[in-house]
């Protein structure tokens, strides 16, 4: 196993898009950072496992292990998709110092390290840059930092005190959420909000306002939450990403995303403000 000797005694174990836990760990919100001594259990199962530490001080550093995708799990271990851990988090937006925030940061970096093994300019195997969280090409000197792709999610309200919710074809049947999409080169975040809404449901919005943000390592995003007001147009789903969309009031909510995502947080905040004003 490759190892960058950590100061921590506990860390997170990842494989592909899953968090690995000993099956004995249970509860509604498990302690995801487990003793690094568990590495011994993988010695006969996985060569090439990497132990790494980010941040670098004893108080805020995070250690993680990334297991090769093809390595079988030792007996008594379970793989929990990282997305599923959202349902275990009920505190609204994910703070950087929370357990979930720490896990998301480690998962983001683990994926980036897996995907940045070689220089994007000359193809040479990368090394770790000394003193900073970056990859360094020993041949051409190219530095690569963790990728972050900004994306927006927007709660749209109208004069009838309803919000627009849509069913994306990637969602589970019956689940509705907010319109979301990635920021494009040369575009302001407000322009992204207006464009994504126009492209996906054929309406125009106004009064676009920033609300909150959330790290979203699926695979390397930062979600930025906005609110907007309906301005004009008739809802027409694009039929590509969005299959159905409509206006919903507080008493007619469809099935919503699980708690933990920024989209669900924005919806819950709107529902609370609606109940207070009733």
- Model confidence over 185-235: pLDDT tens digits? 999 999 999 999 999 999 999 999 999 999 899 889 999 999 999 999 999
Is the model more confident about 198 or about 68? 198
Contact yes or no for 187/150 (Cβ under 8 A): no
**Per-residue confidence (pLDDT) for residue 42, from 0 to 100:** 85
**Per-residue confidence (pLDDT) for residue 59, from 0 to 100:** 60
Q: What average pLDDT does range 101-130 have in this prediction? A: 93
**Ordered strands of the 127-128 beta sheet:** 127-128, 135-136, 143-144
CATH 3.90.79.10 corresponds to the domain 149-277: yes
Closest CA to 196 of 252, 239, 153, 158: 153
Is the model more confident about 52 or about 124? 124
Domain boundaries, the chain: 2-115, 118-146, 149-277
- What is the DSSP pairing of strand 2-3 with strand 50-54? parallel
Report the C-alpha gap between 135 and 155 in whole angstroms: 37
Report the C-alpha gap between 151 and 224 in whole angstroms: 6
Following DSSP, what letter does each residue of the chain receive, concatenated?
-EE---S-SEEEEEETTEEEEETT--SSS----EEGGGGGGGTTT-SS-EEEEES-STTT-EEEEEE-TTPPPPTTEEEEEGGGGGGG--SSS--TTSHHHHHHHHHHHHHHHHHTSB-TTT-PBPEEPTTSS-EE-TTT--EEPPP-EEEEEEEEE-TTS-EEEEEETTSPTTB-B-EEEE--TT--HHHHHHHHHHHHH--EEEEEEEEEEEEETTTTEEEEEEEEEEEE------SSSEEEEEEE-TTS--B-PPTTSHHHHHHHHHHHHHHHH-
**Per-residue confidence (pLDDT) for residue 225, from 0 to 100:** 97
Band the pLDDT of 22: cuts 50, 70, 90: confident
Is the model more confident about 149 or about 274? 149
**Per-residue confidence (pLDDT) for residue 30, from 0 to 100:** 53
Q: Which of 65-74, 97-106, 123-132 has the lowest mean pLDDT?
A: 97-106
Q: Which of 29-33, 43-47, 95-99, 229-233 has the lowest mean pLDDT?
A: 95-99
Contact yes or no for 112/64 (Cβ under 8 A): no
Asked whether residue 8 carries a pLDDT value surpassing 80, the answer given is: no
Asked whether residue 51 carries a pLDDT value surpassing 60, the answer given is: yes
**Per-residue confidence (pLDDT) for residue 56, from 0 to 100:** 57
Q: What average pLDDT does range 130-157 have in this prediction? A: 96
Q: What percent of the chain has pLDDT over 70?
A: 88
Report the C-alpha gap between 259 and 224 in whole angstroms: 17
Band the pLDDT of 125: cuts 50, 70, 90: very high
């Amino acid at each position: 196993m490759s190892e960058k000797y950590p100061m921590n005694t506990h860390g997170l174990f990842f494989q592909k898009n899953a968090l690995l836990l000993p099956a004995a760990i249970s509860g509604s919100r498990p302690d995801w950072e487990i003793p690094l001594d568990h590495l011994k259990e993988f010695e006969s199962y996985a060569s090439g496992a990497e132990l790494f530490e980010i941040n670098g001080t004893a108080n805020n550093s995070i250690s993680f292990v990334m297991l090769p995708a093809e390595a079988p799990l030792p007996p008594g271990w379970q793989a929990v998709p990282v997305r599923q851990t959202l349902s275990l988090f009920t505190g609204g937006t994910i703070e950087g110092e929370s357990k979930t925030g720490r896990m998301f940061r480690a998962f983001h970096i683990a994926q980036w390290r897996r995907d940045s093994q070689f220089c994007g300019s000359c193809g040479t195997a990368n090394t770790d840059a000394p003193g900073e969280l970056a990859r360094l090409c020993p041949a051409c000197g190219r530095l690569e930092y963790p990728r972050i792709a900004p994306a927006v999610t927007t709660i749209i309200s109208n004069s009838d005190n309803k919000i627009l919710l849509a069913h994306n074809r990637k969602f589970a049947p019956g689940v509705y959420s907010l319109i979301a999409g990635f920021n494009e080169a040369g575009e302001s975040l407000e322009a992204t909000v207006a464009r994504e809404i126009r492209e996906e449901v054929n309406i125009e919005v106004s009064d676009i306002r920033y609300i909150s943000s959330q790290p979203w390592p699926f695979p390397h995003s930062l979600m930025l939450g906005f609110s907007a007001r309906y301005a004009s147009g008739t809802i027409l789903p694009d039929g590509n990403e969005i299959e159905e969309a409509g206006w919903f009031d507080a008493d007619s909510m469809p099935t919503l995303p699980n708690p933990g995502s920024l989209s669900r947080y924005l919806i819950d905040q709107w529902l609370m403000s609606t109940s207070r004003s009733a």
